[in-house]
Amino acid sequence: MNTSPLPRVVGLAYDADSAEALPSIVLKAAGPITEELLAQTLRRDGPRIVRDATLLEQLYRLPVDAAIDPSLFELVAALLAHVIAVNERIGNESRS
């Protein structure tokens, strides 16, 4: 009997151009579809993947289209800062 938990994924979106925008949940998946979503993301220049089990646990509890709870702002801010830095590094490497 397999007792390992199903793989899960949560997708976030953030509109930096909107002064009132908060990061929000735009995708949630569990099970085999999760592996396919991750594989598709890795095959193209898609959203960045960050693996953080603690953040996943907190975000997965929220419904799709929910704004991020203020108690998670610090974690999500760190995540977004990481993604922005990776995007800038990739952009600089592609221009070289």
Answer for the pair 38, 22: CB distance below 8 angstroms, yes or no.
Answer: no
pLDDT per position as a tens digit, 49-81: 778 888 888 888 889 988 887 788 788 778 777
pLDDT above 70 as % of the chain:
88
> What is residue 2's predicted lDDT score, i.e. its pLDDT?
60
Measured CA to CA, the distance from residue 52 to residue 46 in angstroms comes to 18
Reply yes or no on whether the pLDDT at 4 is more than 70.
no
Measured CA to CA, the distance from residue 30 to residue 33 in angstroms comes to 6
With H, G, I as helix, E, B as strand and everything else as coil, classify residue 26. Answer: strand
Calculate Rg over the CA atoms of the chain. 15
CA 81 to chain centre: 12
Q: What is the pTM of this model?
A: 0.67
pLDDT band at residue 1 using 50, 70 and 90 as cut-offs: low
Question: What's the CATH fold of domain 8-95?
Answer: name from scop (3.40.1690)
For the segment 35-42, the average pLDDT, to the nearest whole number, is 80
Which tokens sit at 14? Answer: 């953030």
